[in-house]
A and B are shown apart, each in its own frame.
Chain A
């Protein structure tokens, strides 16, 4: 009996003890702008319990009643310490000030969240300040080009912004801007990405160990968040470079309540080339109008109603416009010949988000989005000779647009559980191509409309994940379940996810993850140039959804001077991946797209090393990837497995930024990659065919059986910064491919007319390219 009484006494003691817990919640913001800080660390020194802020800066930490000593930190910002006695649920919004003493190694960072403490593996966060420092082609800062410098990520063709993550294809990357998928990420055929770094707050790349909240693509999630707009004071920045000019303005509409951010970028090839072309045509009595430019416009407005409700409206509008109109006039009559041609493509994206803190432990984010990519191609001619008038015009349209709604919840019952769950629905509309041709001729008029049917599909999903802390072991366990319906076909997928972290010591942890993914939409692309004709198409009755599973293990540790080091090994198996069939021509629009492609399997595995220094005068990273990457399709390479085009065995990259002082920053990157795979003519023989002809044919033995020469490149940049009364300005001088290495674009079997010999010849694209740009901030 005594034992029973003792048991109940203990039980109710525990209950009563449990009841005396209270929740501290709020937001972590930057002090000068009130921008929310993502993944800021909030840590109670007394209880050794902590949490991190979410994508919207919200945090929640439930602690026992009593003395609390909170330490709030974020890389690049001065930490904040606050001590008080916790007696009730408490709301505290933290405002952190940027740490201006960048030259100094920041002391007292022991409570900041280190790489070994994070459960998430295979993920890297980048800030615009880091991206800006990396030297790039023509001085055009580019998020995707910086991601290419990370281990596990390959850049594909030189100079372009293709992103190939752990053996995946570009369409297997979920690239989201403020929660909205972006379908075409390229300007200028891939030389520049659509993301204007001035408008960006954070960039994160996840290559594996995908938490359950992510889904819809096999290989990576690239999450880009736009700035919210300075809620404290008006601020601006911009730059003028060889390729484009940018201007960003942000500021409060109602201080501490409502703010805006608007950022524009336009390139100006046409401003230089068009007058020259016009002048040249005029000298011959003709007329010529050239259009050749791209532009972006990012805008965001947000309003904080109170500490529980905030509303955000963000938009992106960007396009590439190329066109040439020419008119040749006859001097002696009114006769003329006129041609017009134009290619326009671009994205339009909008997102409306509502943040609602339901209670101190439960946070909801509701998002409504619209995303559209469209491609228009117009060509025509018109002539008049001896009063006879002829006219011809052809228009081609293709694209995709999405409407989506989702709601995500963060529930943090106590420091040992961080539960996320949500549901969402995406409605896709695909326009795989419509061609309209119209002619007005003397003999007769005609018109033709040839179009592939629009397709409609519905993708819906739900997920649940819990990040559980069990002393030294931390686990993120969850599932992502999704469905896809198109016409009368329905697909369903249940995708379990698990991520584990075991703290071996304060400085070292072991990590492991397993994730399965399903992808319902596919990009028909040529794997090299980011052409606007690339077409997003759905899974259909004929084309099954792509699926993958990926397992990874790794070690993460923090060395001296806060240098982070990680090694990860991964193995990924992909099913129903798509590829063009042998001989399929990307420019052939007559053939039904489903008949041009085939489905097969992919296998990728490898090891990745990353050594990263985030603080101090010298920052940067050294990455190395050892990888294998294969594909197998029944209808390609006689059914035999072959190396993927970007099967690169060794990939080495180093990025260094050194701040000599507050005025001069030097940066450099050097990349080295062993050769990409290529198919080459390796023999000839004579064949007899039913045309009763004997033909010599050149054959390749096996697909991607040869290797291009190795790729390496050094880029350099120097930034000269000067403080001015009105703010700050900087001159940035850069050299792309500093030692002018002729890297291979493609290789063909050619002929040397001087020696009468056949030979393999290499086409290269980019020699040394100097650049200079001017940047200002006020």
Chain B
């Protein structure tokens, strides 16, 4: 009996709740805070509510400091985009919290653009990207639950695309402009092994269809079967950096706190900082479904 009691005591000693899940001290060697901008240019569309290209400038914070998960914004940065012939300046907009440029940006294909961001107390960050060529949509249509988009993929070159579909809003709003809203889509088939999904867009790389002409991309959607609508398909020709950034962000989203998922390093292309600078060259194609 004594032995059983002893075993019970020993087991109880080790089985306190604190044993299995407890706080611990780990030397978090958080480096100095860095700038972490998100600059996805060439992405905004004229038929959307906020058509201007915009840049968001954030900064890194020790995770212990951001208790309420508040947005981390740098409001006093100077942001400039330089091409061989021109420099664009971006100013902070208090309403949207983005840095905006007064003019309409115009990018030249195969030209390198450099984004430079300076802010007091932070190291200056820079990143460069080449503006991709336009890849026109040859045809786009809706066939039942599927959107079909036909393109000519560039041969001998790795290409990265973001594909979105917009539908004309049925409810009118009090402006002269006709607005379109993004359509929820899904990957169709298995051809896009390395594709990514953001609910309203498909991220593709041309590994499985490199150089194919009149290539038909099939995308599932969740539109009502009987509903007639006007659509615009938008194909953004983008960069490898963006592809890596976007996929790493999305995977990181569902991998949080899952010990069975390999940890993810969020891709960044800024020197001295984190975040992404990318350029997108878009082509549009309007079509109706009746």
Mark A residues whose CB is within 8 Å of B: 526, 528, 579-587, 591-592, 595, 636-638, 679-691, 694-703, 706-707, 709, 735, 737, 740, 742, 744, 746-750, 752, 756-765, 767-770
Contact = CB atoms under 8 A, between A and B. Distances in A.
B262 A584 contact: yes
B20 interface: yes
A749 B166 CA distance: 39
B71 A696 contact: yes
Contacts, number: 193
Contact of A595 (B11, B36, B193, B251): B193
B274 A637 contact: no
A768 B13 contact: yes
A703 B265 contact: yes
B267 interface: yes
A634 to B, nearest CB: 12
B26 A706 contact: yes
A703 B263 contact: yes
A689 B198 contact: yes
Contact of A758 (B67, B97, B265): B67
B261 A583 contact: yes
5 contacts: A526-B260, A687-B275, A688-B98, A744-B24, A764-B21
Contacts of A636: 262, 265
Contacts of B59: 685
Nearest to A765: B20
Given A682-B28, A698-B252, A698-B256, 12 more contacts: A581-B262, A582-B263, A585-B258, A638-B265, A682-B29, A685-B274, A691-B200, A696-B72, A737-B14, A748-B259, A760-B24, A768-B11
B191 interface: no
B286 interface: no
A767 B36 CA distance: 43
A689 B249 contact: yes
Contact of B265 (A694, A700, A764): A700
Contacts of B25: 760
B25 to A, nearest CB: 8
B248 interface: yes
Contact of B22 (A684, A695, A762): A762
Contacts of B275: 685, 687
Interface string B16-39: 000111111111111100001010
B10 interface: yes
A745 to B, nearest CB: 9
Contact of B20 (A637, A760, A764): A764
B263 A679 contact: yes
Contacts of A709: 24, 26
Interface string B262-290: 11111100000011100000000000000
B14 A768 contact: yes
Nearest to A771: B7
B76 interface: no
A273 B260 CA distance: 28
Kindly list the 4 A-B residue pairs having the minimum CB-CB distance in the complex, ordered from nearest. A767-B14, A583-B251, A740-B14, A688-B38
Contacts of A579: 262
Interface centre among A586, A697, A702 (most CB of B within 10 A): A697
B143 interface: no
B19 A742 contact: yes
Given A702-B265, A760-B24, A685 B58 contact: yes
